[in-house]
Amino acid sequence: MTNIRMISAASGVVEPSNLWSSRLDPKFADLCPRLIETAAGVRWSAAGKLAPPPGYNTALTDPHGHANPLTIARTDWLASPAGRRWIQDEDQVAGEVLYSTGYVWDLINATENRDFILACYRAYNDWLADFCEADSERFIGVAKVPTTGADDATSELRRAHSLGLKGVVLDAWPGGADCPPAMEECTEFWAAAAELGMPISIYRPLDGTREPEPGIVAGITPEFYNDLTTIIYANIPDNNPGIRFISLAPNAGWAPAAFEQLADTYMRTAALRKISLANEDMSPADYLRQYFWYVSQDDRTVLLNAGYMGEAHLIWGSFAFMETASVWPGSRQLFERVTSGMDRGFAARIAGENTERLYHLGNARPFSAEEIAGFESYAML
């Protein structure tokens, strides 16, 4: 049987130890993030505080399966293009969409120093763009959006696009954790994302609460589920039909039941609701399928309900080096188990083809309007 070509739609980047120290202005020396080496592995520090270990700290194991905590030297090699190719080859993937979602960002944002925070986000995006340029077919970079206000968020989104990065990930709402997404000051951010074709990924609550640890819990909605519905009720897709969002959780089997409950509540409260969606023929569940893409890892349930979700909206992610969700280097074995007995063409589309089309990689053709709207309201098994 021929191996399916796999492109992970969600993998954790490994940041080099000098990412910030080599790029930030010396005036930020006291705040600058630095990698610390301990007996238990590496950890990031910033502004005099120590972050929990990054997801990649114990990602490597010895031949007996025991964790092998990283040294700074080993971390720097893994953070190099050669190291990343080795990571991908070990996991048998042809490419990865790379995210930085580690705890170091909580330390950066906790300083509440606008100039420092903005400098850290810009430095990271610069580094990531340079990194991806070394092997653009295998490294697909997702930029970080600063949490210092809508103007900064919009400016950095546009700059990230000019750098060749393929999408953005939010740590908070574009206007800041306390700024509702429907506020007029955020309008330009949503419009720019739609105009530039930059998918927006969500992996944590956007109200400034502490970053949750990703995990796989059958049937439980992710902690950012309310943010997904907030986006819909803020009429952001109505005002920006070309916008694309990504649910960055390792499963989506929770979605069919949650969506049907949401749609039912919307219809039952028609006479009471203060906000209505522009398309009277679509329920909130329809919006959450048409404008969102969902990453699947160890999740056979959502694949069996592909008709309900819309096949074009399902993308596979290894979650390599992303906290407890990582099964590196066994991602291919897991994927083959999850898709066992399924049509190989379908499996290939989920494994990489949909990701290529979503991010406009190579010569991949874009999704048609019919494909994007190709979901069934009641196809649950």
pLDDT for residue 381 is more than 70 = no
Count up the domains in the chain and report the number. 1
pLDDT attached to residue 219: 61
107, with CB counted inside 10 A (0-12, 13-18, 19+), is: buried
For residue range 109-150, what is the model confidence (pLDDT) as tens digits?
999 999 999 999 999 999 999 999 999 999 999 999 999 999
Structure confidence at residue 323 (pLDDT): 78
Q: Supply the pLDDT for residue 273.
A: 76
Instruction: Calculate the average pLDDT of the chain.
Output: 92
Round to whole Å and give the CA distance between 47 and 72. 20
What is the per-residue pLDDT for 224? 94
pLDDT > 70: what percent of the chain? 94
Does residue 102 belong to any structural domain of this protein? yes
* DSSP per-residue string spanning 318-371: --TTSGGG--TT-HHHHHHHHTTTS-HHHHHIIIIIHHHHHTT-TTPPPPPHHH
**Site of tokens 């998918």:** 199
- Residue 310 burial class via C-beta count within 10 angstroms: exposed 0-12, middle 13-18, buried 19 and up: buried
Q: Any bridge partners for residue 12, and if so which? A: 99
Range(s) of the domain holding residue 168: 7-21+77-372
> pLDDT tens digit string along 279-297?
988 999 999 999 999 999 9
Is 2 a member of any domain?
A: no
**Whole-number pLDDT of residue 110:** 96
pTM > 0.85? yes
Q: Other CB atoms closer than 10 Å to residue 241's CB: what's the count?
A: 11
3-state helix, strand, coil split of the chain in percent (to 5) is 40, 15, 45
Greater pLDDT, 294 or 267: 294
Beta strands per DSSP E along the chain:
7-12, 34-38, 41-46, 49-50, 95-99, 139-145, 167-170, 200-202, 245-247, 292-296, 314-316
Peptide bond into 329 cis (omega under 30): yes
Helix (H, G, I), strand (E, B) or coil at 196: helix
Q: What is the mean pLDDT of residues 45-67?
A: 82
pLDDT score of 314 more than 60: yes
The set of residues, in sequence order, having a beta carbon less than 8 Å from that of 3 and lying 6+ positions away, is 92, 332
Question: Is the residue at 68 inside a domain?
Answer: no
Quick one: tokens of 365? 């053709």
- Tell me whether residue 45 is in a domain: no
Q: What is the CATH number of the domain that holds 96?
A: 3.20.20.140
136 occurs within a structural domain? yes
pLDDT of residue 201: 98
Residue (of 88, 70, 74, 71) closest to 12 by Cα position: 88
Regarding predicted confidence, which is higher, 68 or 362?
362
Tokens of 301: 């349930």
**pLDDT value of position 4:** 95
Tokens linked to 163: 């750098």
Whether the predicted pLDDT of 63 surpasses 70? no
Residue 87 within a domain: yes
Please give the average per-residue pLDDT across 328-335, as a whole number. 94
pLDDT for 229 beyond 90: yes
Distances (CA, A) of 255 to 267, 268, 352: 18, 20, 21
Residue 156 lies in a domain: yes
Between 338 and 59, residue with greater pLDDT: 338
The pLDDT of residue 1 = 46
Q: How far apart are CA 122 and CA 132, in angstroms?
A: 15
Tokens of 109: 């944002």
The first and second tokens of residue 327, run together, are: 């099964």
Q: What is the pLDDT of residue 376?
A: 86
Is the CA virtual torsion 3, 167, 24, 36 positive or negative? negative
Q: Report whether pLDDT(355) > 80.
A: yes
- pLDDT (tens digit per residue) in 333-350: 999 999 999 999 999 999
pLDDT in tens, 94-104: 999 999 999 99
Q: What is the pLDDT of residues 24-48, one digit of tens each?
A: 999 999 999 999 999 889 999 999 9
**% of the chain exceeding 90 in pLDDT:** 83
In the chain, the amino acid numbered 287 is Y
Instruction: Report yes or no on 309 lying in a domain.
Output: yes
Helix (H, G, I), strand (E, B) or coil at 289: helix
Average pLDDT over residues 161-168: 98
Binned at pLDDT 50, 70 and 90, residue 65 comes out as low
Give the other-Cβ count within 10 Å of 82's Cβ: 11
Q: Count of CB atoms within 10 A of residue 66's CB?
A: 8
Give the residue with greater pLDDT, 314 vs 274. 314
